[in-house]
Amino acid sequence: MVATSATSSFFPVPSPSLDPNGKGNKIGSTNFSGLNSAPNSGRMKVKPNAQAPPKINGKKVGLPGSVEIVKTDTEMSQPAPRTFINQLPDWSMLLAAITTIFLAAEKQWMMLDWKPRRSDMLMDPFGIGRIVQDGLVFRQNFSIRSYEIGADRSASIETVMNHLQETALNHVKTAGLLGDGFGSTPEMFKKNLIWVVTRMQVVVDKYPTWGDVVEVDTWVSQSGKNGMRRDWQVRDCNTGETLTRASSVWVMMNKLTRRLSKIPEEVRGEIEPYFVNSDPVIAEDGRKLTKLDDKTADYVRSGLTPRWSDLDVNQHVNNVKYIGWILESAPVGMMERQKLKSMTLEYRRECGRDSVLQSLTAVSGCDIGNLGTAGDVECQHLLRLEDGAEVVRGRTEWSCKTPTTWGTTP
């Protein structure tokens, strides 16, 4: 009965017939009313003295008074009585139907153009990265989007810096040290401490273009008694070529008092197991950064204000936004013909959403009037508040773009 119920949805089973008086005959019961029925009642005709017909020499021989069973047309047209066996479905038909469905699905799947055109597209396309090299290095892949490239069809420096920042945060998250959701460990969160960057040095050998997939590695090391150094290396996933190297120094600040803090022993115990004993990925540039003023600057851009979207969860301006503000005062002619190949920044103070800033740039190494045809160019930068307080000092180095990266339209 269980098999009958399970298969009735695929193969309908006829209902038991009812007698003319509205009483249903039970399945398996015997009805002898047909022995005296009318000739055309649809039941068997039985003759008295029924005996099995004998055979002589392989031929049947009829006997007088023998019983002859004759089926009428009405009986032959009726369905076979319901039994457990004949109520089972035709399994061959069910198997054929299932096979047809699977073959059709497989055909549709094979027709889909889901296969990647490059093998590197299979490398962590949607995850947040993974820990490699004995649990000390974090690795994450990024695909360069169309909105992350500039007029020269290559990724902007802001895009590169956003990738560095993202891998740093995901490193802390994957290591299980995320206390408040934005870089602080559990012990840092208890003590209202946050990380702030004091120095950043970046060297760009080559910028990726739209559709490229880059692989970013990052790791941390100790920097002095109360600092931490974080390094990055960016490679092309397809060729393995190094594209960018970056090194930074971070210290702790109390987010309530906005003052720098020593690293508590509880916090040190959380982060020291992840320190890598290695030299910086970039040799430190020990040259002093020049302080600019209105007299020494060649270009000044005033009235820069942060938008709400420029603030991070610690309620200060995102570090990447400072880079954009610094380049606001860079000469357009230089940016059209030159590409940024290295950058050194020193962060002096933070600014909030109500700050108004000025960006100052001084060009050295060439004549200002010939920036479009100059070779390597070096610039000094200063980002300051309106009252003169320094926010960021910087130095950038530029080299000529190849003719194929400018003068064309996307």
By C-alpha distance, which of 185, 180, 195, 184 is closest to 270? 185
> How buried is 200 (Cβ within 10 angstroms: 0-12 exposed, 13-18 middle, 19+ buried)?
buried
- DSSP string across 172-193: HHHTT--SSSSS--HHHHHTTE
Helices (H), 175-273: 186-190, 265-271
Q: Give the helix/strand (H/E) hosting 99.
A: helix 91-111
- DSSP string across 5-60: HHHTTTS--PPPPB-TTS-BPPTT----GGGG--TTSSS-B--SS--PPPEETTEE
Residue written as token pair 């891998």: 167
Catalytic residues: 314, 316, 351
If DSSP codes are grouped into helix, strand and coil, which group holds residue 58?
A: coil
Confirm if 214 and 208 have CB atoms less than 8 A apart.
yes
Q: Who contacts 225 (Cβ-Cβ below 8 Å, separation ≥6)?
A: 262, 263
How far from chain centre, in Å, is Cα 316?
A: 28
By C-alpha distance, which of 189, 180, 315, 165 is closest to 252? 189
Determine the longest span between alpha carbons in the chain, in angstroms.
Answer: 141
Q: Give the helix/strand (H/E) hosting 80.
A: none
Q: 316: which 2 tokens? A: 């200060």
Residue written as token pair 């369905």: 79
Confirm if 246 and 201 have CB atoms less than 8 A apart.
yes
* Dist. CA 278–CA 239, nearest whole Å: 25
Q: Give the helix/strand (H/E) hosting 55.
A: strand 55-56
Task: Give how far Cα 281 sits from Cα of 161, 199, 244, 278, Å.
Answer: 16, 14, 10, 8
Q: 46: which 2 tokens? A: 């039985």
